[in-house]
Chain A
């Protein structure tokens, strides 16, 4: 253990001892979830400090209807789909994009929206639809790409808009009041764009401390120390321990791009339902790049597996192991819910890094693997 980590862990322990009740902190972002598991942080946290995952994994919160729409585009409209890799395995009602590709549909994994536009340039005879997934981190790139398509007259390019905003979802969670939370560990990536001040309404309206932190283990531990200090003193504050990267007001150029190309809209979150003004749509001037309009798609309803708890998991209401499907039919190889698909998903992180160590060792003797 590095001296820095040890010092932070000791501080956490002292604070938790003083608070002497169960403290529940939500890490909003999937990258925080994964980093905490990958670095084994849960094993070093005091017993009365619980980290719960929030709705910050873009793949996990995308409702099934958008996957179905993408599959319909590829299968029935002969559209070439360009998507970030995480979306490939998310199951829709008729299977996943990965399975569709194996059956011959043209589905490309890209690492940027511009990569999708490049495919449209290279294949002028094809129609290319990009799945616009993600929060404020990926949305500006989608906006810039739409502007580039307009400038260069690339009309065989469209976007299936699934972009979402983080803060409205956090507010909706608090307003629903189902999960007792003592504070939020706020995502570094998103905050680079939005600025730390974006979380002010949460602190003001709901008196919950918010601390912006980076993704390195020490940053996470430092963020938790600051959150626990707020909890102990009973003062909800907005703090930023990631100042080297995140400013108060965010990235003006990126925010301007989003404002120019998108308008806020009510949008559906997986298993949570529609959250007002929590998504982005293309502004009227850019409607011709909207895949839903261009191909007259109707976004249907979701038919999630009745036993799947992904919706609970992304709201911090359930842990992966509480889901009856977890490791019983739902694994990273054949995921049933999106939380198991995405490398940022809580179930996938739990399965990869946390599944058995304690649980298996706690099994009664008779169930242990012999050998």
Chain B
């Protein structure tokens, strides 16, 4: 690694030439990626990683990550890219095994920003106990200054006894979340709009495979799990209701929302139910397993504020309905696109 260290040190921003496949590309990979991500499967830099595999089913997923700003309180694009794909595998019931990492870097990205994000990728991967085993880097011409796009794909191993699926959801099942909702989306929006709140609002971005494993191996009859990312809690509940043609009744007073998030959502005119999360799951379990599911979640640090928020009913037509804290009742729908902060 040492012979190539000097030239890049004099460069503080990524140049197009870093993507040219030549000497500079080698330096970029060696000094700024492998230095933090190295492991025995990635190190040979072969065209693909070879993974040992035991018999059984494999779960495969991919996701691309685009976020402005790249770094924000509680996380950065790297943490989301690892946690997001790990979570996509985990909510399928799979144990994450390995991830790929594709970086599309915009010319001009400060090298120290890249270093911090790669360090965050490495740290989050360690936290999730999963390795980055293959990767790719491209540099594109300067455009908006957004800087960096990340794609991660992941493979996981599906244990034979795990059977999760929407088709198992039935009336009288209960719905749980693992903690306070809306922190991520509100953090991003307040940073973007230059609004600071008195106490700290932080993204909840986190790999949830540990929590989910605890839930699935704790003797709880779990029927369905989904991470409540874009579209928020409302999006997941609408999915369940639509696919199963069943209603879901939730209670506002039971849904964990931090006072800061509630205040921020009010200020921005947003409904916390529709705001994105990066470390929250919605989980459906049989009614008589509600307590054990809640206890299993609360035993994990990322589930301390878990709560039973509602139940599935066969009321027709299928709707998600919210009993509000004020004593009213209204329907809940998935949001329509980019949520726009209000004026007035």
Q: Measuring CB to CB, which residues of chain A are less than 8 angstroms from any residue of chain B?
A: 1-2, 5-6, 9, 29-31, 34, 37-44, 56-59, 84-86, 88-89, 109, 111-112, 115, 133-135, 137-138, 189, 215, 217-218, 221, 331-333, 342-344, 351-357, 360-361, 363, 368-371
Contacts and interface: CB of A to CB of B under 8 A. Distances in A.
A215 B270 CA distance: 14
Task: Report which residue of B318, B324, B341 has the largest number of chain A beta carbons within 10 angstroms of its beta carbon.
Answer: B324
Interface stretch (B171-179, B210-218, B331-339): B331-339
Given A356-B319, A361-B317, A40 B329 contact: yes
Nearest to B315: A361
Given A86-B343, A138-B343, A357 B327 contact: no
Contacts of A56: 344
Contacts of B319: 356-357, 360
B330 interface: yes
A39 B328 contact: yes
A371 B323 CA distance: 24
Given A356-B331, A369-B317, A371-B245, A342 B342 contact: yes
Nearest to B336: A332
B contacts with A: majority SS: loop
B51 interface: no
Contacts of A215: 266
B316 interface: yes
Contacts, number: 135
B54 interface: no
B271 interface: yes
Interface in B230-245: 244-245
Nearest to B253: A2
B269 A357 contact: no
A352 B327 CA distance: 18
B337 A58 contact: no
Task: Report which residue of A37, A42, A332, A343 has the largest number of chain B beta carbons within 10 angstroms of its beta carbon.
Answer: A343
Nearest to A331: B336
Contacts of A344: 269, 342-344
B292 to A, nearest CB: 29
A38 B332 CA distance: 9
Given A85-B341, A133-B343, A342-B342, A1 B327 contact: yes
B336 to A, nearest CB: 4
Contacts of B318: 369, 371
A88 B340 contact: yes
Contacts of A351: 333
A217 B323 CA distance: 13
B81 to A, nearest CB: 25
Contacts of A353: 330-332
Nearest to A333: B336
Nearest to B270: A343
A58 B342 CA distance: 10
Nearest to B327: A1
Nearest to A111: B193
Contacts of A354: 330-331
A58 B344 CA distance: 6
Contacts of A332: 336
Nearest to B333: A352
Interface in B312-326: 316-319, 321-326
